[in-house]
Amino acid sequence: MARARVIAIANQKGGVGKTTTAINLSASLATAEKRTLLIDFDPQANATSGLGFDTNTCEHNNIYHVIIGEIPIHEAIRKSELAYLDLVPAGSDLVGAEPELVNEMAREVRLKDAVAPLLDRYDFIIIDCAPSLGILTINALVAAHTFLVPLQCEYFALEGISKFYKTVDLIKRRLNPQLEEEGVLLTMFDKRNRLSFEIANEVKGYFKGKVFTAVIPRNVKLSEAPSHGKPAILYDINSSGAISYLNLTREVIDNVNRSEA
Ligand SMILES: Nc1ncnc2c1ncn2[C@@H]1O[C@H](COP(=O)(O)OP(=O)(O)OP(=O)(O)O)[C@@H](O)[C@H]1O
Ligand SMILES: [Mg+2]
């Protein structure tokens, strides 16, 4: 049986579209009948609430309890509205994991060890990271086969990105030599705004062939859907946001087919 591809959605900059991408990529993969697990790895728990889960009901068995070794990951898995999509929720208690792990042995491999028994059960495991380069994001990049970087089409899009790639290099050298780049995703593209085109060109020049052809437009349906607890594909399948995430999903599936060929 094929083993899951584990993809970390990461960028330490806040509000660039990580969670929106994690939810909608996961839902689109599930719609394509790929067995998908979304792991919410951010104390803000936006992916959890965005899929319609009340974080208060996840108080005793979420990713925090998995990371500190209290429960095995299968006890934290929830079924979603989509048949092929499961979720491991987060809660605000995840903030506590950071200081608690500081003096622990093997603190960088907690998530990798936790997901190991699931690799045969899923085709994709998507990790929604927090906007930081702390121990949680490091755990995600150690557990991942690839990372996907959302970049918002606005001024300062590339600010801080070299620090992110330095962290990736360090992780590749020390902890996860197999880590590869899934791609850079342009988000919140506004076709009425010339700056969006300028930023897109700058990013494509900087990252050469690494940028996905799919570009995510600024689309109100994408920002409304989480308040209804639904991915865009269930909230409004005809929206430009839902369609652009389906296009991204096709490229991700192509990446897998290419790496398996
Ligand atoms: N393409 C889009 N069009 C319109 N709104 C968007 C789009 N993508 C994201 N948003 C909105 O922008 C805000 C930030 O997006 P999101 O939560 O996905 O970013 P994030 O990188 O996960 O943030 P954080 O770093 O805080 O975790 C949210 O309110 C979201 O609904
Ligand atoms: Mg987020």
CB 189 within 8 A of CB 214: no
Residue with CA nearest ligand 1 atom 10: 223
In the chain, pLDDT over 70 holds for what percent of residues?
Answer: 99
pLDDT > 90: percent of the chain: 87
Q: In the chain, where are the structural domains located?
A: 5-260
Which residue in 178, 181, 175, 8 sits closest to 108, CA to CA?
Answer: 175
pLDDT at 2: 62
Average pLDDT value over all residues in the chain: 95
Q: What is the mean pLDDT of residues 190-215?
A: 95
Q: Give yes or no for residue 152 having a pLDDT over 80.
A: yes
Name beta bridge partners: 87.
38, 78
Distance 69 CA to ligand 1 centre (A): 31
Atom number in ligand 1 closest to CA 129: 27
- Say how many Å lie between the CA of residue 120 and the centre of ligand 2: 27
Q: Is 160 left (phi over 0), alpha (psi -120 to 50) or beta?
A: left
State the pLDDT confidence band at 158, using cuts at 50, 70 and 90.
confident
Q: What are the CA-CA distances from residue 151 to residues 40, 174, 207, 214 (Å)?
A: 19, 26, 12, 13
Ligand 1: nearest atom to the Cα of 220? 4
Pocket of ligand 1 (CB under 6 A): 14-20, 42, 44, 46, 131, 187-188, 216, 218-219, 222-223, 226, 241
Q: Which atom of ligand 1 is nearest to the CA of 244?
A: 1
pLDDT in tens, 227-244: 999 999 999 999 999 999
Q: Answer for the pair 40, 129: CB distance below 8 angstroms, yes or no.
A: no
Q: 5-260: which CATH architecture?
A: 3-Layer(aba) Sandwich (3.40)
Residue 16 CA to ligand 1 centre (angstroms): 6
Quote the CA–CA distance of 123 and 215 in Å, as a whole number.
24
Task: Find all residues with CB under 8 Å of 82, minimum gap 6, and list them.
Answer: 27, 30, 31, 231, 234
Out of 223, 244, 247, 248, mutate this one to test ligand 1's pocket (max ligand atoms within 8 Å of CB): namely 223
**DSSP bridge pairs for 189:** 217
Which residue's C-alpha comes closest to atom 18 of ligand 1? 17
Confidence bin at 109 (pLDDT 50/70/90): very high
Compute the distance from residue 96 Cα to the ligand 2 centre, in Å: 18
CA-based nearest residue to 22, from 255, 252, 258, 260: 252
Ligand 1 centroid to Cα of residue 222, in Å, is 8
Any bridge partners for residue 149, and if so which?
184
Tokens read off for 168: 């990736």
Summarised one tens digit per residue, pLDDT across range 32-55 is 999 999 999 999 999 999 999 998
